[in-house]
Amino acid sequence: MRFAEPIFLVFAAAIPFAGIFWAFLRARRERALERLVAPHLKARLIPGAPAMRGVQAWCITIGLFLALFSAARPQWGMVTEKYIERSRNVVVAIDVSRSMLAEDVRPNRLERTKADVADLIDSLAGDRCALVAFRRTGVVVCPLTSDHAFLRSSLEQLSPDSAPRGETDLGSAIRAALDTLDPAADDHNAIILISDGGDLRGEALSNALLAKKRGVPIFTVGIGDPRRGAAIPAADGRGYAKFKGETVTVKLEEEALKAIASASNGRYVPLATAGTAETTLGAIYRNFLRQVAAKEQNEASERTADRYQLFLIPSLVLLLSGAALSKGRFAAAGKNRVAHDLA
């Protein structure tokens, strides 16, 4: 047995001594009355039978002792408690390379992505979200926050200039997203990576395996048409980008995105074919919530059980019994009558 508030044991230990001292004072008072008044007047001055007064004293003394003992919160044994952690975190990593300006998805890949992420924000409720923009490297443009207005503002400002120029590095995006998430809450973390594809060079696959080890699923979303390429607008805004006189076209490269999702226990969704409510980013996030909810049902913790109730309830019964045995104002009225008779 242990006590969570042992200081109350000091007060509890003083109760028996206080009871003994009270009994001593009462006995001395009765002896003094015997010398001053006739025997038939003693009963009127001290109402109640001596045995009943003794029962009342024991009820109050033991009741106070048990009340203070329960206040010390005695504990023994273990109890298992299930709990639900409601705060969840999701990092949305968005490819902002110039290929995301292709118009095979209306109005273009990047703007379609931003519209779908806005739909995702509507599904967040009280959960937190962060935004990572990536090209050659991943850059956190909005840290984890539950401020949806700030989140939307950061989303609207995304452009190819939001991340350093260079070939798309999916591994850097995953690393930046993982660094944004607190490892202590990985059971409630997720990453949504949106891109028109890339390769697995660098640390893309190893970082996906790290996410799996931490228990963070990566939902990869492919944006664009995987069957035919789409032209990339020129940097100066006039026409399309060309290489050796030929228009540069890009198509959705799904293999890397599928590999990352598979390696991290996530899911790959081709957004180009999204035509139902089940393939929006909001639906993907709700799917993540179902996974988390399944984990939460199995979460439990053990702690030492509080047993103060075993002492508090008897103490209340004893104190109420002691109060019921008191003569209260009737005793005071009897004393007034005796005083009137003596006068």
pLDDT in tens, 188-235: 888 999 999 877 677 899 999 999 999 999 999 998 888 887 888 887
Tell me: do 290 and 312 sit in the same domain.
no
Rounded distance, CA 217 to CA 296, Å? 16
Per this entry, what is the length of the chain? 343
Q: Quick one: which H or E segment has residue 178?
A: helix 170-180
Radius of gyration of the chain (CA): 38
Same domain, 185 and 232: yes
Same-domain status, 53 and 140: no
Domain enclosing residue 117, as ranges? 89-296
C-alpha 293/C-alpha 272 separation (Å) is 29
Q: Is residue 134 over pLDDT 50?
A: yes
Q: How far is Cα of residue 87 from the mean position of the Cα atoms in its chain?
A: 5
Structurally, the chain folds into a number of domains equal to: 2
233 and 276 together in one domain: yes
Same domain, residue pair 311 and 338: yes
Residue type, 61: T
Q: What is the CATH number of the domain that holds 211?
A: 3.40.50.410
Last residue of a domain, which of 296, 318, 334? 296
313 and 173 assigned to the same domain: no
Q: Which of 150, 157, 141 is nearest to 92 (CA)?
A: 141
Q: Which residue has the higher pLDDT, 47 or 147?
A: 147
Same domain for 292 and 307, yes or no, is no
Whether residues 93 and 129 share a domain: the answer is yes
Over the chain, what is the mean pLDDT?
80
pLDDT at residue 172 in the model: 93
pTM over 0.75: no
